[in-house]
Amino acid sequence: MSASNAQVDHARIAAAKQGSWRPLPLISNRNLRWGLNLAALTYIVLVYYSVDINWARVAQGMDRAINFVGSFFTPDFVTRGGEIAVGLRESLTMTFVATVIGIALAIPVGLGAARNIAPRPVYFFCRTIIALSRTFQEIIIAILFVAMFGFGPLAGVFTLAFATIGFMAKLLAEDIEDAQNEPLEAIRATGAGWLQWINYAVQPQVMPRLIGLSLYRLDINFRESAVIGIVGAGGIGATLNTSINRYDYDTSAAVLLIIIGIVLMSEYLSGYVRKWTA
Amino acid sequence: MTAPVWQRRTPARQYAIWLGWFLGVMLFLLCFKIISDNTIWEFLTDAHVQAASLIGRMVPPDWSITGSLMLPLWDTINIATVGTALGVLIAFPLAFLAARNTTPHPALRAFALGIIVSSRSINALIWAILLVTMIGPGLLAGMIAIALRSIGFVGKLLYEAIEEIQPTPVEAITSTGAGRMQVLAFSVLPQIMPAFAGITVYRWDINIRESTTLGLVGAGGIGLQMNAAINNLAWGQVATVFVLIFGTVIVSEWVSAKVRHAVI
């Protein structure tokens, strides 16, 4: 391997002296490079033959597509204003409550899933919770929770809180595993109890990132709350889904613009809060 | 006389923090009240019975349908892969327009950032609902939905990577008299290629998860079978679909972690 690489290097340098230079390839191993290209080509052929697309139907839909894009210039906030307001209020309250509950539950799970501070059995238990919560999309969890708790925003709160646990606990655990060991030893050497140890050695090291991640998750939960309404878990998703199914694109555009606006606002806000807490 | 006790914060700052917590708790309670008013609490009294019966009907999973799920699973992987490829194709030039150090004009930068934010704000499932009403149900709607959602994610991470490159190679190539495209190709591109590969594989991994649910709204893949099983209340079949999704996601996460480890 290394011998052939050296040969290639010599060939490159010789070619460069002749005046023809080429940049180094991204993947240095030649067989791997050609193997990947070949695999990609085979895959494209396979997909081409296994996906069948009804182009006539696609052409038919173009009128609607143009209508939809056009409706972004004439959004209608008023006709369904009442439904939009109710949906939006439900989405925002769901987002906030679910994020608070989710983070409160994610902290113990995250502590348990950090390899450097949790005993083995606890570690595996917490990692299982994280894997389960991260694998299944919010919408699948929402279907199950709607079946258990009935329609309404409470099922949505449980869904978003459950999804928040996996996300926050995983990142928190990784952050704790990256924490510096010296403060942990120092506080432990003073004879501190377990809670004191967590509070004075671990918490100060992970707090800034935890705040940043919480704000990010608030943002994600709001976006997700626009989706889980489709299966009856409350929020603005129900309004949006109804408007799309009625081809009432002006109202859909209004809802989408509101969502984009709120996400943009929260992005600016979280930038400020991060600067302020860091 | 007692010695003064050490305090971490000034009293004014301490009160401000307490006030902040107080307002936060009040907001939480208010929000919870709104939700509670919209909830039928009677449903909750038998929630544990419902949960137990749901799980009881899911276990054991109905393995007899596993064979018929293989084609939808292949479709799901195709939706994610082709969708990621399409999204990346569009996001790549967009990222160069959006990065402060490579954008040709500030107005173009604002335009590119607008597209990136819009794409990031809207879930793939919403794109899928829209596309199904436009171009009809099927794999194509799913692929385009995944692509539209991926543009924002890949575009944002990529333009941040472009903004963080070392300026010295750019200066060096520029000083040789290279044209604009040559500077991009030989000084910017080599610096962002590893990040680009990592971001793409990371998004592909997320897209595998997202494409499992697109079938719920008719956009193809294993979600169609899941939706049919849920509508038939065949929870044993639903459980089989769940197990398959879980397995696929674990494998894709492993692949993505391997590739990212190799390139970064």
Domain ranges within chain A, ordered by starting residue: 2-50, 82-277
Which class in CATH covers the domain with range B66-263? mainly alpha
Domain ranges of chain B: 8-35, 66-263
Asked if B227 has any chain A CB less than 8 Å from its own CB, the reply is: no
Asked if A22 has any chain B CB less than 8 Å from its own CB, the reply is: no
Asked if B134 has any chain A CB less than 8 Å from its own CB, the reply is: yes
CB pairs A-B closer than 8 Å: 146
Contacts of A61 in chain B (CB under 8 A): 133-136
Contacts of B215 in chain A (CB under 8 A): none
- Residue A1 is predicted with a pLDDT of 44
pTM of the model: 0.85
Contacts of B216 in chain A (CB under 8 A): 139, 230-231
List A residues 111-150 in contact with B (Cβ-Cβ < 8 A): 131, 135-137, 139-140, 143-144, 147-150
Q: How far is A118 from chain B (nearest CA, A)?
A: 24
Which one has a higher pLDDT value, A11 or B173? B173
Task: Express each pLDDT in B235-255 by its tens digit.
Answer: 899 999 999 998 998 899 898
Does the pLDDT value for residue A109 go beyond 90? Answer: yes
CB A180 within 8 A of CB A239: no
Task: Express each pLDDT in A187-240 by its tens digit.
Answer: 989 998 899 999 989 998 998 889 888 988 998 999 999 889 888 888 898 888
Asked if A84 has any chain B CB less than 8 Å from its own CB, the reply is: no
Cβ distance B121 to A223 less than 8 Å, yes or no, reads: yes
A107: its two tokens: 């902290």
Place of tokens 């194709």: B89
d(C-alpha A213, C-alpha A211), whole Å: 5
For chain A, report the end-to-end CA distance as a whole number of angstroms.
48
Nearest to A144 among B54, B123, B186 (CB): B54
Q: How far is A7 from chain B (nearest CA, A)?
A: 23
Task: Express each pLDDT in B149-165 by its tens digit.
Answer: 999 999 999 999 999 89
Task: Express each pLDDT in B179-232 by its tens digit.
Answer: 888 888 888 998 898 889 889 999 999 999 999 999 888 888 898 999 899 888
For residue B38, name the pLDDT band (cuts at 50, 70, 90).
Answer: confident
Q: How far is B78 from chain A (nearest CA, A)?
A: 7
Cβ distance A137 to B212 less than 8 Å, yes or no, reads: yes
Cβ distance A57 to B136 less than 8 Å, yes or no, reads: yes
Cβ distance B138 to A53 less than 8 Å, yes or no, reads: yes
So what's the architecture of A82-277 in CATH? Orthogonal Bundle (1.10)
d(C-alpha A127, C-alpha A166), whole Å: 9
- Residue A235 is predicted with a pLDDT of 85
d(C-alpha B140, C-alpha B208), whole Å: 15
Q: How far is A239 from chain B (nearest CA, A)?
A: 12
CA proximity to B76, closest of B237, B246, B215: B215
Cβ distance A140 to B81 less than 8 Å, yes or no, reads: no
Cβ distance A94 to B230 less than 8 Å, yes or no, reads: no
Task: Express each pLDDT in A246-273 by its tens digit.
Answer: 888 899 999 999 998 998 888 888 878 8
Task: Express each pLDDT in B41-82 by its tens digit.
Answer: 877 788 888 888 888 888 888 888 888 899 999 999 999 999
d(C-alpha A241, C-alpha B132), whole Å: 12
For residue A159, name the pLDDT band (cuts at 50, 70, 90).
Answer: very high
d(C-alpha B256, C-alpha B233), whole Å: 35
Task: Please state the rounded mean pLDDT for residues B87-112.
Answer: 92
